[in-house]
Amino acid sequence: MAEDSSTSRKLAPAALYQSCDPQELGFKTTEELEDLEDLVGQDRATEAIHLGASIRHEGYNLYVLGREGTGRHSLVQRYLEGKARDEKPASDWCYVNNFEESRQPHAIELPAGRGRELAEDMRQLIDDARGAIPAAFETEDYRTRREAIQNELQEEQEAAFEEVSRRAKERGIGIIQTPTGIAFAPIRDGETLGPEEFNELPKEEQERLVRETEEVGKELQSVMQQAPKRVREARRRIRELDREIALWAVGSLIEELSHKYVDHEQVVDYLQQVREDIVENISIFRTSPEEQSQLQQLFGGRMGTPDGEASGATQRYAVNLLVDHSGAKGAPVELERNPTYHQLLGRVEHVSQMGTLVTNFQLIKAGALHKANGGYLVIDARKLLMQPFAYDGLKRALQSGELRIESLGQAYSLVSTVSLEPKPIPLSVKVVLVGERILYYLLQAYDPEFSTLFKVAADFEDEVARTDENTALYARLLATIARRESLKPLDGPAIGRLVEESAREAWDAEKLSARIRPITDIMREADFWASKSGSEIIGRQAVEQAIESRVRRSSRIRDRLQEEILRKTILIDTAGKTVGQINGLAVLQIADFAFGKPNRITARVALGPGKVIDIEREVELGGPIHSKGVFILSSYLAATYSSDEPLSLSASLVFEQSYGGVEGDSASCAELCALLSALSGLPIDQSFGVTGSVNQRGDVQAIGGVNQKIEGFFDICRARGLSGSQGVLIPEANVKHLMLRRDVREAANQGKFHIYAVNHVNQAIEILTGVPAGEAGPDGAFPDGTVNQRVRARLSDLAEKRRKLRGQEKQESGP
């Protein structure tokens, strides 16, 4: 009966692998296939990307989630670039000087290409003004009018002095200019009186002259006090003259530009401000070339200008072209690979002058949001979250709808130094974050603002159905990649092998992995091997060689573990029979390489309080899922064998020679079989490896990594010599996942290695012990000699012994 059961559960070689027939692909080489722009089977994600990119309402930004290597970045970028080509180019943005408050430069928006034009026009205007203004001030008319003002001032000064002198003479007082200043002396008949002559005058005359001298002094002082006022008036008139001349020199230039930009009010307003400022700062245009050279040497050849010119006019009136979309064929699509705070939001740079850091509006630099404004910005979510303050800065910009350039010190009030505060720029951008699912779910859970800003999630599939249609599309995708990567064409068998490897990558024979990156790497390496062999086409052999080479590069740890098993350092039996001992199968994942490893699992049973002790859990090496599986075993034992009496055993389970953590429930079937063996006393054939989880009803459930587990046990058996009786028991639900290596399939086809599919623990224990499991009859009893009958008998015996021990304990303790 048990032999019949094992035979019926044995899988045919055809069930171990689903090959891809090159004849059904319908082409000889990939040169015959058309390009495929979309990814295979990502319709859901593509629809979400289309929706999020098309809705212009606030908050409809995208988060593209999925595994690495599924082509998320490339698909998003291709889609957005295609969509952006049909949209109008974004605006240019410029910063210009704010003449009233230089710390707050003005932002000017212009159609694409006009920003560069304005910058060139302003540069030309300043060059023309540097020539026109000095020339205007060198004209004969200007000199004549200026000299007239100066002469008029001098004449007024002289006339006022002469008037005071005349009145003084009438009073007999002379005004004398000396090296130390102005002095007063009495005169008679035009001659100055000396001290002796003055003393000979009558006392009344002397007193009159003294009084007159004081009066003349007051009049002269009044005249002298009026002199600065006359000088100021003259200077005012000269300034007005200079303004008039300057306006005459540059007025036509500015009016010409104003007419050119008449449709752009911001530019016209700025040009009027430039005209007024030039008039107020004529001196910066009247510096001689020699003086400019001296200034350039003094300030190290830069004077704080980004283009190295020493002219103050160039620095003051130049246009900082922050974002230039000249030549753009559509809306911008920016991919920011280093999303730091300043790379996203812009920055104000500084230059060193005389040992001091200084800045100006020309040192304002754009961030990725400025460049993508009016279009699309793609950011890697993990990189964004790893940069301090970058995510907060992005949210702040999206919430406010404007781009404000400020340093981190300003934004978080860390410093109080005076710096530029550029006027903010309105923001209209579609942000696309590309990242892992865990980041999306964490942001959804812990950031309440995230869901208001990123309302559309584009979830990429990890795998797609392996239908004929998808296989054909997958072949076109591989052909497209080969052309983009400048690889040799692939023939049908090579594509078929890559399709098979994709299914193996998906751990499912009925699926294709959506992770295209590993397959692309295999294609690149196959191209190398094809070139090395002198072939012009990548064939199946080159693909096989690339796959084997990748495995060999990654398999050092696997090989060392298998070596220790073969040297019997790690104890694994592949022959013989032992009670309470079984070969469980586990999968180890190291980077991108997964491999199977057999583990000895042992079970011991004794009289006890009805507990199954998981030693791994007791020493905190077992994870919660593994512990859950062990608890399920206890429930299964009690419900199946001791429903009418207490479970009276103390059983222990352990992964032998396990020195690290154990997680997962894929060994629970093997653990249950080991327990049943220990309870029934029936030995387990060590030629088998077992994998699968069980539920409380004893059903064997699917597990992961079934191919790697089978291959890991096969490698040990083959190294020791295949006996024809060795094999692996797997859940029946995992048959559809089988994509085994060629050497495993060949051994199965030759009858040297076997794969059994089971759906209940009874089927597994029959194969492992060679004894029927036994089905319960109407009265609940199992047939004699079956595994289940032996287990129930053993548990009943343990329960009886426990009752007797309790009775003896009560008698000894007395009433």
pLDDT at 431: 96
- How many angstroms separate the CA atoms of 467 and 461, rounded? 15
Element (DSSP H or E) covering residue 731: strand 727-731
- How many angstroms separate the CA atoms of 773 and 763, rounded? 7
pLDDT at 784: 92
Q: For the whole model, what pTM was predicted? A: 0.80
Please, which residues bridge with residue 192 across strands? Answer: 187
Residues 674/676/681/682 CA torsion (nearest 10 deg): -80
pLDDT at 162: 73
Residues 475, 27: contact at Cβ < 8 Å? yes
Task: Return left, alpha or beta for 94; rule: phi > 0 is left, psi -120 to 50 is alpha, else beta.
Answer: beta
pLDDT at 200: 66
Q: Which residues lie below 8 Å from residue 551, measured CB to CB, with a gap of 6+?
A: 593
Please, which residues bridge with residue 596 across strands? Answer: 587
HSE-CB at 412 with a 13 A cutoff on CA atoms is: 9
Residues 691, 703: contact at Cβ < 8 Å? yes
pLDDT at 811: 64
CB atoms within 10 A of CB 3: 11
Which tens digit of pLDDT belongs to each residue from 739-768?
Answer: 999 999 999 999 999 999 999 999 999 999
DSSP assignment of 668-682: HHHHHHHHHHHHH-P
Residues 757, 702: contact at Cβ < 8 Å? no
Residues of the chain with pLDDT below 70 are: 1-7, 164, 169-172, 174-181, 183-184, 188-193, 196-200, 205-206, 209, 223, 287-311, 410-418, 614-620, 807-815
DSSP assignment of 217-256: HHHHHHHHHHHHHHHHHHHHHHHHHHHHHHHHHHHHHHHH
Instruction: Sort 438 into a burial class: Cβ within 10 Å, 0-12 / 13-18 / 19+.
Output: exposed
Which tens digit of pLDDT belongs to each residue from 259-310?
Answer: 999 999 999 999 999 988 888 888 787 765 555 555 444 444 444 444 444 3
Instruction: Sort 245 into a burial class: Cβ within 10 Å, 0-12 / 13-18 / 19+.
Output: buried
Q: Phi then psi for 533, rounded to 5 degrees? A: -85, 0
